[in-house]
Amino acid sequence: MTRSDLAIIGAGPAGMAAAAQAAELGLCVTVLDEQPRAGGQIYRDVDRVAPLRGDILGAEYTYGATLTASLKHSAITHLAGAIVWAIEDQFRISYTRDGRGAQLDADHVLLATGALERPMPLPGWTLPGVMTAGAGQILLKQSGVLARDAVLVGSGPLLYLIAAQMVRAGTPPKAMIETQTRSDFISAAQHMGGALRGWRYLAKGLKMLASITRAGVPRYTSATDIAVQGTDKAEAVSFISNGHTQRITCDTVFLHHGVVPNVQAARSLGIAHTWDAAQQCFVPKRDEWGQSDKEGVFIAGDSAGIGGAKAAEYAGTLAALQIAFAAERLTREDRDRCAAKLRAKLAHEQAARPFLDAAYPPYAQALLPDDSTVICRCEEITAGDIRGYAKLGCIGPNQTKAFGRAGMGPCQGRYCGLSVTALLADARGQTPDETGYYRIRPPLKPVTLSELAGMEVTTPDAVH
Amino acid sequence: MKTVSPFLELESGPRVKVILDDVALSLPQGANLAAALLAAGVPVFRDTPISGAPRGPFCMMGACFDCLIEIEGTTRQACMIEVTDGLEITRIHHDEALA
């Protein structure tokens, strides 16, 4: 059994920056990440891909190579392809790698597990050919695979980013079906001050929009009643935009209406979460260093609340400073001096966020879908099923499991948890905080018996 | 089930033989298996155990479990596997999943 001062779950910007900072301060760090190469989703496979198609993906993507380079430090062990499935006992981390179970011990844990796409349940969203916009981007980043005939559906900056990248790659999307309305933009205007402080993001957004328009990509806004049609796979998207019913044939649909923190690991540790009304998701409670309410467990980056890649990098570094301070590798003065600069950068980075959250809110009909829409993809439970459970007296998300197995399939609630909370809260006239969320338990990912049987287990406390 | 691919591949590296339900496919070595199958014109990866509905990759990041396929008798996430020479893949069907 190996022991580290710090175990980091996730090799995205938060995890990589934290590892580099902690190692520099003399800590022994292990980074566990599911992917074969470092970068997280935002910088996925950047070392291999940047020379191949950095021009399509842009400088903000290729920048990730500076972070992956910082992992090459003698005090950092990067366990690529490590699927973490349990974090227990102050702290023993169980994971699968190369088909075998393994464990490591650590004094501190940093959860840098990133974001998931906000579930976007609408009619037909389970059909083959319908993917998240993030999936579309991953296909392009990691594999150089581009949809020839895709329709982009939803709202938010990521939708424009992938559209702009598709334009640069020579396969512009067939159409963009956007759910934000003019009134969303008007209500966002109150946050314009922050947006102007974060003007770089606005300028980037306008540039992306210009390139999409220049490429002749049709944009439909204020879209409602969106449905993907098809029998065995996606064939068309129908919707109403500004009073007109539309139907666009396509074989690929990329859905996106924001990303939300991936809280599976934090939830499994019993860390308290609260509802963030601006971002319409649960976020883990933590202090200014990212320390959660569980001593020794820190959370940084998008898994602590959506802020984007640069904000994640700063938050990861802040957490590392505090962990090094706790491990007596850094004086209070040095910690605070380093932190002040980072906090200023972080504030600057977050300035445009309230504007973006208000201008591109989630698609209302996917937050509270029609009765017939499947919300739990694994167990094929519909929104109507959940409403029915509420009528029968179901008091919370954990009880929906007993009523109909919602959240009990292989994804373990990752793509239905927020929908179930929203539907129950709506049906019972409660807030999301009152309604709560699924209880998440290990294993966080499925483990096979052969992986367990192949596990090297040593008990440090064993009597010899 | 194989159709003309809705996807375009930018890379053209060495390819290896992979067997999907007794059909030989030529896929890029070391590529993400889910991406490679999509690019090869395979949209449907399995049927669901509940209704038998067809499914394919959705999140491409190991979270949704929609791209499940079977390799050497074990159910795996195609988006978390790299293409290797001689890989034998079976698509999981409704009746088998219930068995």
Reported ipTM? 0.95
Residue B87 forms part of a structural domain: yes
pLDDT recorded at residue A201: 81
Residue contact B65–A409, C-beta within 8 A: yes
DSSP assignment of A148-169 equals SSEEEEE-SHHHHHHHHHHHHT
Residue B60 lies inside a defined structural domain of this protein: yes
| Cis peptide, bond prior to residue B58, ω within 30 of zero | no
CB contact at 8 A, B92 and B46:
yes
Alpha-carbon span A1 to A434, nearest angstrom: 41
Q: Cα A378 vs. chain centroid, distance in angstroms?
A: 19
- The closest CB to that of B10, out of A132, A144, A409, belongs to A144
Q: Which of residues 182-221 of A touch B (CB under 8 A)?
A: none
Q: How far is CA A393 from the centre of its chain?
A: 32
pLDDT digits (tens, 9 = 90+) for A316-335: 999 999 999 999 999 999 99
Give the integer Cα–Cα distance in Å for B57 and B68. Answer: 8
Minimal C-alpha gap between B60 and chain A (Å): 5
**DSSP code at position A374:** E
Distance from chain centroid for Cα A255: 14
How sure is the predictor about B1, in pLDDT bands with cuts at 50, 70 and 90?
very low
Tally of domains in chain B: 1
CA distance A27 to A146: 42
Inter-chain residue contact B60 with A145, CB threshold 8 Å: no
Would you tell me how many other CB atoms lie within 10 Å of the CB of residue A61? 23
Task: Using CA coordinates, name the residue in chain B closest to A449.
Answer: B74
Residue B8 within any structural domain of the chain = no
**pLDDT band per the 50, 70, 90 thresholds, residue A105:** very high
Average pLDDT (B20-44) is 96
Assigned token pair, A28: 């022994």
Rounded Cα distance, A410 and B48, in Å: 12
Q: Does domain A368-435 have CATH number 3.40.1160.10?
A: no
Average of per-residue pLDDT across A199-210: 87
Whether residue B96 lies within 8 A of chain A, CB to CB, comes out as: no
DSSP-derived letter for residue A77 is: E
Residue from A137, A139, A146, A303 whose CB has the most chain B CBs within 10 Å, to mutate:
A139
B11 min Cα distance to partner chain A (Å): 6
Across the interface, do B10 and A126 touch by the CB < 8 Å criterion?
no
How close B35 gets to chain A, by Cα (Å)? 6
Residue B47 domain boundaries: 15-98
Residues A236-261: pLDDT tens digits? Answer: 999 999 999 999 999 999 999 999 99
> Rounded CA gap, A151 and A191, in Å?
30
The pLDDT tens digits for A434-448 are 999 999 999 999 999
Quick check: bond before A261 cis, omega within 30? no
According to DSSP, the residues that pair with A153 across neighbouring strands are: A177, A255
Q: Which member of A117, A134, A232 has the closest CB to residue B54?
A: A232
Q: By CA distance, what is B76's nearest residue in A?
A: A446
A193 vs B37, more confident: B37
Closest partner residue to A138 (CB to CB) among B43, B60, B74 is B60
Average of per-residue pLDDT values in chain A? 95
- Where along chain A do the CATH 3.50.50.60 domains lie? 2-116+260-330, 119-257
Out of B36, B59, B62, whose CB is closest to A117?
Answer: B59
Other beta carbons within 10 Å of B52: 12
CATH code at position B88: 3.10.20.440
Instruction: Provide CATH 1.10.10.1100 ranges for chain A.
Output: 368-435
Topology of the domain comprising A119-257 = FAD/NAD(P)-binding domain (3.50.50)
- Beta pairing class for A150-154 and A175-178: parallel
**pLDDT computed for residue A199 by the predictor:** 81
Q: Is B93 a member of any domain? A: yes
Tell me which residue has tokens 């860390």.
A271
Q: Rounded CA gap, A382 and A367, in Å?
A: 13
Evaluate if residue A147 carries a pLDDT over 60.
Answer: yes
Output the pLDDT for position A460.
53
Pick the CATH number of A2-116+260-330 from 3.20.20.100, 1.10.540.10, 3.50.50.60, 3.40.50.720: 3.50.50.60
Query: Could you write out the DSSP letters of every residue in A254-302?
Result: EEES-EEE--HHHHHTT--EEEETTTTEEEE-B-TT-BBSSTTEEE-GG
* DSSP codes, chain B: -----SEEE-----EEEEEETTEEEEEETTSBHHHHHHHTT----EE-TTT--EE--SSSSSSS-TTEEEETTEEEEGGG-B--TT-EEE-B-HHHHH-
pLDDT band at A202 (very low <50, low <70, confident <90, very high): confident
Q: Which residues of A touch B39 (CB under 8 A)?
A: 143, 145
Give the single-character DSSP code of A64: H
What would the pLDDT profile of A162-196 be if each residue is shown by its tens digit?
999 999 999 999 999 999 998 998 889 888 888 88
| Residue at B2 is within a domain | no
**CA nearest A259: which of A185, A359, A383, A360?**
A360
Q: Per-residue pLDDT for A463 more than 50? A: no
Give mean pLDDT, residues A109-126: 98
Mean pLDDT of the A206-232 span: 96
